[in-house]
């Protein structure tokens, strides 16, 4: 299964009245998921596939109060508790779209997101899921019925930053599930992640060099050389 991420920019910020503790809550709201169209990544989500998965995600996570998301581009499909910034509180169908709403938490990363908004910064969201892809005509990659939504929305500040490069590589790697339902990263994924982190931390490569590294790793994956 592939890690699948979709970025959305058109997100609104909502501030509501203070709660019982006297804290003023801040929300983000907008289109979190889209179906029946070729998106900017060349992927197509059939509506029945998305309907089934949104129903499962809503019952298991949103309704249970544990539909969390992170700030930034995570390294894989799982939610990292130490990086949680918000919780998705609703996901409603609107034609071929799903309008989501999330409350920003008073966590380390939630407060960072709040301060970015207060200073006039713009945020986007990126859904994160797992699934198989089948290439159709015109280069469209159709998401299959095994699609599994990890989170309806991570908060993304700058999708063109080096972290997006890391996320792009991880999308190109196969991820496996154990019989017990535990996520397993392949050896290739683990080694690639280590190499990319070294370069992103040092900021030693320019955009062209980063692209070259990206292409090299995809070639290695395709040839199963790792």
Structural domain contains residue 43: yes
Active-site residue list: 73, 126
Structural domain contains residue 222: no
Question: The domain containing residue 77 runs over which residues?
Answer: 2-158
**Does residue 198 register a pLDDT over 80?**
no
Structural domain contains residue 197: no
- Packed helices 207-223 and 162-171: angle between N→C axes, nearest 10 degrees: 10
Q: What is the mean pLDDT of the chain?
A: 80
Per-residue confidence band for 179, with pLDDT thresholds at 50, 70 and 90? low
Structural domain contains residue 83: yes
**Does residue 21 register a pLDDT over 70?**
no
Rounded Cα–Cα distance for residues 75 and 207 (Å): 20
Rounded Cα–Cα distance for residues 137 and 3 (Å): 22
| C-beta atoms surrounding 172 within 10 Å | 16
Find out whether 14 and 26 touch, Cβ atoms under 8 Å.
yes
- The token duo for 110 is 């939630």
> What is the pLDDT at residue 191?
59
Structural domain contains residue 165: no
Q: Which of 6, 34, 49, 48 is nearest to 148 (CA)?
A: 49
Domain count for the chain, please give it: 1
Q: Which residue has the higher pLDDT, 46 or 23?
A: 46
Mean pLDDT is lowest, of 26-35, 88-97, 121-130, 210-219, for 210-219
């Amino acid at each position: 299964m592939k890690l699948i991420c979709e970025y959305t920019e058109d997100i609104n910020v909502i501030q509501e009245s203070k709660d019982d503790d006297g804290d003023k809550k801040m929300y983000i709201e907008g289109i979190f998921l889209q179906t029946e169209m070729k998106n900017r990544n060349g992927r197509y989500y059939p509506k029945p596939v998305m309907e089934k998965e949104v129903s499962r995600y809503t019952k298991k996570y949103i309704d249970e109060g544990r539909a969390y998301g992170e700030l930034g581009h995570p390294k894989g499909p799982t939610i990292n508790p130490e990086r949680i910034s918000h919780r998705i509180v609703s996901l409603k169908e609107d034609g071929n779209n799903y309008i989501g709403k999330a409350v920003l938490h008073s966590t380390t990363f939630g407060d960072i997101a709040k301060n970015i908004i207060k200073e006039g910064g713009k945020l986007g969201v990126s859904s994160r899921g797992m699934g198989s892809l089948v290439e159709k005509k015109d280069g469209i990659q159709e998401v299959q019925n095994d699609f599994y939504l990890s989170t309806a929305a991570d908060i993304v500040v700058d999708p063109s930053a080096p972290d997006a490069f890391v996320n792009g590589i991880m999308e190109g790697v196969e991820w496996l599930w154990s019989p017990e339902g535990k996520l397993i990263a392949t050896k290739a994924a683990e080694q690639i992640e280590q190499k990319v982190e070294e370069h992103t931390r040092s900021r030693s490569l320019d955009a062209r060099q980063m692209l070259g590294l990206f292409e090299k790793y995809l070639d290695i994956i395709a040839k199963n050389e790792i």
